[in-house]
Amino acid sequence: MMSGMKHYKETADYINKMYNRQSQLDESLADQMRESEKIADATSQWRLMWRKFKRNRIAVVGGIVVLLFYLVALFGDFIAPYTLEQRMTRYSYLPPQRVYFFAGGRFQPHVYALETGRDPITLQRTYVPNPDKRIPIRFFVEGAPYKLFGLIPARRHLFGVEEGIISLFGTDGQGRDMFSRIIKGSQISLTIGLVGVALSLLIGAVLGVASGYYGGWVDNVVQRLIEIVRSFPPIPLWMALTAALPQHWSPLLIYFTITVILSLIGWTWLARQLRGKVLALREEDFIMAARLAGASDRWIIFKHLIPATFSHIIVISTLSMPSMILAESSLSFLGLGLRPPLTSWGVLLQQAQNTQVLLLYPWLMLPGVFVALSILAFNFMGDGLRDAADPYTV
Amino acid sequence: MRKKALLLLLVVVIVMSGIGINAAPKYKEAPELAKLARAGQLPPVEERLPKEPLVVEPVESIGKYGGTWRRAFTGINDFHAFGRQVYDTILRWPRDPKDPIKPGLAKEWYWSDDGKVLTLRLREGLKWSDGHPFTTADITFWWYDIELDTNITPAPHPEWVIDGKPMELEVVDDYTIKLKFPKPNGLAETVGLAFHGNQWPLGFERFGFFAPRHYLEQYHPRYNPKATYELFEEKAIDYNTERPVMTAWKITEWGPGATRLVAKRNPYYWKVDPAGNQLPYIDEIVLTLFEEVEALNLRAIEGGIDFQFRRMSLSNYPSFMMNKDRYGYEVLLWPDAVPSKLCYYFNQSIEDKGLREIFQNPKFRQAMSLAINRDEINEVSYLGLGTPRAFVVVPDSPYYDPNQEQLYAQYNPELANKLLDEIGLKRGRDGYRTRPDGSRLEIIVEGMEWDRATTDEMELVVAAWNEVGVRTSMRTSSRELYWTRACGNEIQVSTWVESRAIDPMVDPIWVFPYDERSWMAPAFGNWYASGGKFGEEPPKYIKEMMDLYDRYKTTVDRDEQIKIAKELLRRNAEGCFVIGTVGLVPNVVVVKNDFRNVPETFTTDWIYMAPGTLDPCHFYFDR
């Protein structure tokens, strides 16, 4: 009996001990795993890329500008002091107004009231600021109604004036505020890039990866298709396609069709790049291993190949954004893309293409500056991303 | 005794003037032509000119020979750019539209007592630019082989068809011809001979009353079995550099791919100045091709054009004024006989039956007119220089009625909304009106790309119509496409730069549906023009207007004509058949400082072939 009890205690002790040891071991193992995960995390490709990207000053500035542009576009209706429909015909062809920030030593942003008239000889509109009559700029001022994000009805604008006009970038012939129009234009110009790139990404990624992975006749067909598409000069092709658009379509539909048309040509570059990448990857050991383990093609493509080319896809899409924006602008500039009442930078530029603007109203060409700015920003950012995408090379 | 003395004096004068003619050469010519004549390559100027040349009264002074007149145009369809500089017709519009018709190629003309026969006497000794005599045979060639040949002309011009019967010609001799009609023809002198009486039966708006028989016969299938109608058209067209002309300059350089059109002096031109100098003074006209009106304007701003108002845009006036001293030109503002710079036609014969019903309702058109803020348009597009008004004739017109000037032309959106509510176009929740049956109402205003000012105006009008709840959008296309579609009854609301505001009865396309160019109802117009063969039969209110014009056509009594015209124009104005905005907008005229015989002011109307009645052949360079 005694010996029986003792034996039992011994066994229990032993089990306890073993258990403690095991849990200690487990804990240390878990610790180890956590540790290694931490290390792996710290040096993951994304982190490395981010680290490298951050070091590239110009790329960061580009990125910030891009972000800023999109933010302004997102809140455009709120930031713009006027809506697209507001015509202040009393102030047609008003040059950009000067804003004064201090009045009597106090911070009090204001513009001067304008005396309007016509030059007796040239009959040109004249606007003489009257320094004695200050019009204060108010913030969160009530203005024309609009719908924020196209949904929420609102009346408050970021800034505005209660009388007269505030026009930072001047007005056009119908007295429409260029500042507001440029902001509204950015909504279309910038999203057309985004949507267009997304679409071409979809086509390009699927066809490019398939072409590289399967090889053989699939590769042949896709590559010949790319060659055919690429052998067309893009502008005439776009012209033909946009000219075929039925005129009674709603502006929104036209907008989407044009995006589709733009991406129909934009995908080829992406597909080529991805094919090359996949061609190299599919010979790698891990793909071979997956295949030997009996993984299906779908599994390999979606679990291994696409994630492996992800950094490339991002870089390529960033770099093709400017060409999309440019394509929209040039098509609209030629009068083939978007048309009023849709307002994009290209549409604004199209309206500025006459001698009067060149000689008398140069501020109407400001949208061009914004096209250039956005393209530069995207290019800088894209370059930075490209350098960062391959973090292991120096 | 006194009688005898007078007679003697008369004899002396006659003898002396006879001696004068024999002693000194009567006519002088351009130095380059004199050289050719001396070399025997051209007959002397006395033989080239007709017996009684037309004497052009100079606007300013007798001129000097030489120089190249630089102009610009926008292409093959812009034939007005050249055609109106060479206005040489059987009879001529006067410089002042209030004056009677003047002689042209015909030196005199008279009506029979019953108003049914018009006798024309051509100038004796007129010659085509290749030296071949110009005779009544050239008129019969046009009438029988071009105008009445259905392979070339589907239907003869309406002024030559009275009561469905084409006129009959009776050739008396080489210089005398009789035009016979079943009823008095009220349009023959003005429309037929002064407006259409030119040398272009196939080109320039098909303005013709004669054609060079000796040249064209060889290409006409009736005279040459090997010829085809295509070939004939090609040879007869304005731009054929081989075809002989009766105009002051003859096109010598133009063809496919050409970027400029050159027209050189016609050595057989039949006009002289009071000093006996054969016209034209200027050696050649060069028209440079510009695809873009803006580029054309830029060329003018930089002094690259000697004299022109066509295509000069008023919006560029400030630029012209700033640059005129630097580049040595003057900028004139000539009144333009336009009821409205841009006018809007609601197509009352549009295929869409629902729209047609709405557009045919005068209240709808009146509402659309009332919705427009014309003062705003005047300030934005026309530098405040125009006159906000309804689309009615200008004060210079014999049919002018001051009561119509502002009819439905005041900005009154409340009344517009009221009228639209009345005719059953109810506003939906989105603020836009629906058709009476509740379906979506949307109209498309179409136009051509003229210049920024007109686009601005169109956008303002479109915004104004949206404002009163009529969903409107706008679309522009090229001239050729637009013109074809508009005449083809395909456009809902068309716009045009319409003149014909002094005497619209000459070509009453905006008064009532007259032919397919009457975009208020091209299908009805087509019905009228084809005598019911084509198009669509119009409703009663339009047929009544057609009957009125038939009456106008068949009277030579001017008072009766004026009465009918006034009635027609009253119906047009009260029904807002055409919606005008801002009229009497001046033309910008660019004249180089050394370019002479251009008046300070001149009312332009394309019906009067401006500047054709100023006799461009006597413009000259004072260098």
Residue B511, beta-bridge partner list: none
Q: How far apart are CA B482 and CA B497, in angstroms?
A: 13
Q: Which residues of chain B does A355 touch, with a Cβ-Cβ cutoff of 8 Å?
A: 294-295, 297-298, 301, 316, 319
Residues 6+ apart with CB under 8 A from B243: B212, B215, B216, B235, B236, B237
pLDDT at B287: 96
Using an 8 Å Cβ cutoff, are A145 and A132 in contact? no
Tens digit of pLDDT at every position of chain A (394 positions) = 555 667 777 888 888 888 888 788 777 777 777 776 666 555 666 777 788 888 888 889 999 999 999 999 999 889 999 988 888 888 989 999 999 988 878 888 899 999 988 888 888 889 999 988 888 888 998 888 888 887 888 888 989 888 888 889 999 888 899 999 999 999 888 888 888 888 888 888 888 888 888 888 888 888 898 888 888 887 787 778 777 777 667 777 887 888 888 787 778 888 888 888 888 887 888 888 888 888 888 888 888 887 778 777 888 888 888 888 888 888 788 777 777 778 888 888 888 887 778 888 999 999 999 999 998 998 888 888 877 776 555 4
pLDDT at B588: 94
Of B71, B46, B123, nearest to B263 by C-alpha is B71
Please, where are the H alpha helices in B309-451?
317-327, 353-360, 362-370, 374-381, 413-422
Q: How far apart are CA B435 and CA B470, in angstroms?
A: 10
pLDDT at A192: 84
DSSP state of B89: -
Q: Nearest-CA distance from A100 to chain B in Å? A: 29
* Closest chain A residue to B296, measured at CA: A355
pLDDT at A280: 83
Structure tokens that stand for A76 in this block: 């455009």
Q: Which domains does chain B have, with CATH numbers?
A: 24-87+247-334+589-623 (3.40.190.10), 89-241 (3.90.76.10), 343-583 (3.10.105.10)
Residue B272, beta-bridge partner list: B55, B278
B332 φ/ψ angles, rounded to the nearest 5 degrees = -110, 150
B476 φ/ψ angles, rounded to the nearest 5 degrees = -125, 150
**Which of B298, B385, B459 has its CB closest to that of A355?**
B298
pLDDT at B20: 44
Q: How far apart are CA A317 and CA A270, in angstroms?
A: 8
Residues 6+ apart with CB under 8 A from B79: B203, B204, B205, B238
| Chain A interface includes B298 (CB < 8 A) | yes
* Closest chain B residue to A84, measured at CA: B463
Q: Which residues of chain A does B379 touch, with a Cβ-Cβ cutoff of 8 Å?
A: 89-90, 92
| Chain A interface includes B412 (CB < 8 A) | no
The number of angstroms, rounded, from the C-alpha of B16 to the middle of its chain's C-alpha atoms is 45
Using an 8 Å Cβ cutoff, are A371 and A329 in contact? yes
Residue carrying the six token digits 């075929």 = A244
Q: Mind spelling out the 3-state secondary structure of chain A?
A: CHHHHHHHHHHHHHHHHHHHHHHHHHHHHHHHHHHHHHHHHHCCHHHHHHHHHHHCHHHHHHHHHHHHHHHHHHCHHHHCCCCCCCCCHHHCCCCCCCCEEEECCEEEEEEEEEEEEECCCCCCEEEEEEEEEEEECEEEEEEEEEEECCCEEEEEEEEECCCCCCCCCCECCCCCEHHHHHHHHHHHHHHHHHHHHHHHHHHHHHHHHHHHHHCHHHHHHHHHHHHHHHHCCHHHHHHHHHHCCCCCCCHHHHHHHHHHHHHHHHHHHHHHHHHHHHHHHCCCHHHHHHHHCCCCHHHHHHHHHHHHHHHHHHHHHHHHHHHHHHHHHHHHHCCCCCCCCCCCHHHHHHHCCCHHHHHCCHHHHHHHHHHHHHHHHHHHHHHHHHHHHCCCCC
Q: How far apart are CA B70 and CA B288, in angstroms?
A: 8
Q: Which residues of chain A does B315 touch, with a Cβ-Cβ cutoff of 8 Å?
A: 173, 354, 356
**Dihedral sign of CA atoms B38, B44, B48, B53 in order:** positive
Cα separation of the two ends of chain A: 76
Q: How far apart are CA B188 and CA B93, in angstroms?
A: 13
**Which of B295, B322, B385 has its CB closest to that of A122?**
B322
List, in sequence order, every beta strand (DSSP E) within B520-594.
579-580, 582-583, 587-592
Residue carrying the six token digits 């014969």 = B349
- Residue B468 identity: V
Interstrand relation of B587-592 and B329-334 (parallel, antiparallel or unpaired): antiparallel
* Closest chain A residue to B444, measured at CA: A248
Q: How big is the CA angle at B553 (ends B548 and B557), to the nearest 5 degrees?
A: 100
Structure tokens that stand for B48 in this block: 């080239």
Q: How far apart are CA B526 and CA B503, in angstroms?
A: 22
Residues 6+ apart with CB under 8 A from A159: A81, A137, A138, A139, A140, A141, A166
Mutate to test the interface with B, among A92, A93, A172, A174 (most CBs of B within 10 A): A174
* Closest chain A residue to B298, measured at CA: A355
CB contact under 8 A, A174 and B444: no
Buried-state track A214-244, b at ≥16 Cβ within 10 A, e below 16: eeeeebeebbeebeebeeeebeeebbebbee
Provide the CB-side half-sphere exposure for B176 (13 A, CA).
Answer: 5
Host H or E run for residue B480: helix B479-487
Of A193, A233, A194, A226, nearest to A207 by C-alpha is A226
CB contact under 8 A, B383 and A118: yes
Q: How far apart are CA B118 and CA B100, in angstroms?
A: 16
pLDDT at B47: 94
Using an 8 Å Cβ cutoff, are A66 and A318 in contact? no
pLDDT at B11: 53
| Chain B interface includes A89 (CB < 8 A) | yes
Q: Which residues of chain B does A88 touch, with a Cβ-Cβ cutoff of 8 Å?
A: none
| Chain B interface includes A3 (CB < 8 A) | no
Helices A251-281 and A306-333 sit at what angle, rounded to 10 degrees? 140
* Closest chain A residue to B474, measured at CA: A340
CB contact under 8 A, A356 and B383: no
CB contact under 8 A, B381 and A173: yes
Of B266, B257, B311, nearest to B285 by C-alpha is B266
- Residue A275 identity: R
CB contact under 8 A, B376 and A89: yes
Reading phi first (left if > 0) and then psi (alpha if -120 to 50, else beta), residue A67 is in alpha
Count CB atoms within 10 A of the CB of residue A378.
Answer: 25
Residue carrying the six token digits 């033989």 = B47
Q: Nearest-CA distance from B466 to chain A in Å? A: 11
Using an 8 Å Cβ cutoff, are B408 and B369 in contact? yes
Residue carrying the six token digits 């050239």 = B138
Of B441, B546, B451, nearest to B493 by C-alpha is B441
Residue carrying the six token digits 């009879």 = B91
* Closest chain A residue to B478, measured at CA: A335
Q: How far apart are CA A116 and CA A111, in angstroms?
A: 15
The full set of domain ranges for chain A reads 61-73+180-388, 97-167
Residue carrying the six token digits 């060069």 = B286
**Rounded to the nearest 10 degrees, how much is the dihedral formed by the CA atoms of B395, B397, B403, B405?**
-60
* Closest chain B residue to A118, measured at CA: B383
**Which of A89, A339, A341 has its CB closest to that of B379?**
A89
**Which of B297, B318, B380 has its CB closest to that of A92?**
B380
CB contact under 8 A, B321 and A341: no
Q: How far apart are CA B475 and CA B492, in angstroms?
A: 11
Mutate to test the interface with A, among B291, B296, B322 (most CBs of A within 10 A): B322
- Which parts of chain B have pLDDT scores under 70? 1-25
Question: Could you give the ipTM of this predicted complex?
Answer: 0.73
Residues 6+ apart with CB under 8 A from B318: A119, A122, A123, A124, A356, A360
pLDDT at A222: 86
Residue B72, beta-bridge partner list: B288
* Closest chain B residue to A243, measured at CA: B477
Q: In B, residues 312-371, which contact A (CB 8 Å cutoff)?
A: 315-319, 321-322
According to the CATH classification, is domain A61-73+180-388 in 3.40.50.1370? no
pLDDT at B22: 47
Using an 8 Å Cβ cutoff, are B456 and B340 in contact? no
A259 φ/ψ angles, rounded to the nearest 5 degrees = -60, -45
Count CB atoms within 10 A of the CB of residue A365.
Answer: 15
**Which of B294, B317, B444 has its CB closest to that of A123?**
B317
CB contact under 8 A, A123 and B384: yes
**Which of B385, B463, B475 has its CB closest to that of A247?**
B475
Q: Three-state SS for B493?
A: strand
CB contact under 8 A, A118 and B453: no
